[in-house]
């Protein structure tokens, strides 16, 4: 039996399961020869939808260390009506070059309506760093980081040394640092072919009418358009909604038939100062001035 079903649907079409993900951490203890280590577990909430020729897997992975990963997988079959060598397009699949499968792009959006510490009045920050090689008598390269507060709607792009975070306006961890989640994009290929896929990340002011990144059921107001790129028009962000765009350029290959192995695209949210320490720190240990001490 190559196929197996071992998942329990909780509500119709939605499955949950837990999975090991290997090491959560490993660290030398204060006593010589002692090691602290733990295996991490994920809660996986997922669903499968057949859309056109593909089966799409939507995954939300909640790690026990607080990170959340959202992935979209595609499997099934390459579209049969793309198998046409006549127009000369695509990559040859199967014997010789009598059949070609058209290459194409999968552009996925995730819409994130944050409510950190139960409040939607979150702030968005962008960090950019520049690194300069040593000059003159300097020994080491210099890294300079700037924080930009995103106060108005944004169409942003991934860049080397750039990252974003969504910050709680009300909650702080036990160390007095504002709780936040960092947006960690996965590998992506930005697709310049549509107005709404020209940027990697959009931040818009919450509007219940703005539900889908493209092909929204209708324009939200006169001249507002039906896609996310049209909604970035300078509004002040008091309730920011983040739209993450992750693209995958699928260049067909022989291994895609048959069935097509799952290809994935997605991104993560990493907790940043959500808790004062690693939430998996062993009980009975606390960290102070670079040393372990009893109690937490």
Give me the residue whose beta carbon is nearest to Cu ion: 250
User: Which letter, b or e, does each residue of 236-268 get, where b requires 16 or more Cβ atoms within 10 Å of its Cβ?
Assistant: ebeebbbbbbbbbebebeeebbeebeeeebbbb
Q: Which is nearer to Cu ion, 109 or 164 (CB)?
A: 109
- The span of 30-38, 244-252, 270-278, 283-291 binding Cu ion (CB under 5 A) equals 244-252
Task: Compare residues 199 and 250 and give the one whose CB is closer to Cu ion.
Answer: 250
Residue whose C-alpha is closest to residue 106's, from 70, 154, 56: 56
Taking the C-alpha atoms of residue 50 and residue 263, their distance in angstroms, rounded to an integer, is: 15
* Distance of closest approach, residue 23 Cβ to Cu ion, in angstroms: 33
Interface residue with Cu ion, options 93, 250, 266, 270 (CB under 5 A) = 250
Residues 92/263/25/269 CA torsion (nearest 10 deg): 130
HEC string of 133-160 equals CCCCCCCCCEEEEEEEEECECEEECCCC
Size of the site for Cu ion (CB under 5 A): 1
Answer yes or no whether residue 199 interacts with Cu ion by CB under 5 A. Answer: no
Least gap, CB of 184 to Cu ion (angstroms): 24
Looking at the Cβ atoms of 50 and 160, the one nearer to Cu ion is: 50
Interface characters, 122-161, with Cu ion (x: CB under 5 A) = ----------------------------------------
**Contact set with Cu ion (CB under 5 A):** 250
């Amino acid at each position: 039996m190559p196929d197996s079903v071992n998942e329990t649907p909780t509500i119709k079409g939605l499955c949950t399961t837990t999975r090991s993900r290997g090491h959560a951490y490993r660290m030398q203890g204060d006593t010589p020869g002692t090691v602290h280590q733990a295996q991490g577990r994920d809660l996986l909430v997922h669903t499968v939808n057949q859309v056109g020729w593909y089966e799409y897997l939507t995954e939300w992975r909640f790690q026990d260390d607080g990170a959340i990963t959202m992935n979209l997988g595609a499997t099934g079959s390459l579209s049969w009506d793309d198998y046409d060598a006549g127009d000369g397009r695509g990559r040859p699949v199967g014997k010789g070059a009598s059949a070609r499968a058209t290459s194409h792009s999968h552009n996925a959006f995730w819409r994130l309506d944050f409510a950190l510490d139960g409040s939607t009045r979150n702030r968005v920050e962008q960090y950019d760093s520049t690194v300069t090689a040593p000059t003159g008598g300097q020994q080491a390269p210099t890294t300079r980081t700037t924080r930009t507060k995103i106060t108005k709607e944004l169409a942003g792009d991934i860049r080397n040394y750039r990252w974003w975070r969504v910050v709680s306006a009300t909650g702080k961890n036990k160390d007095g640092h504002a709780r936040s989640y960092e947006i960690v994009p996965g590998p992506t290929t930005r697709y310049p072919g549509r107005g709404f896929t020209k940027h990697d990340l959009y931040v818009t002011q919450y509007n219940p009418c703005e539900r889908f990144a493209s092909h929204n059921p209708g324009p939200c107001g006169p001249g507002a358009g039906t896609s996310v790129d049209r909604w970035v028009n300078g509004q002040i962000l008091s309730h920011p909604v983040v739209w993450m765009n992750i693209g995958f350029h699928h260049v067909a290959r022989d291994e895609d038939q048959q069935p097509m192995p799952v290809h994935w695209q997605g991104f993560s949210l990493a907790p940043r100062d959500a808790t004062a320490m690693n939430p998996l720190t062993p009980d009975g240990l606390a960290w102070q001035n670079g040393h372990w001490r009893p109690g937490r």
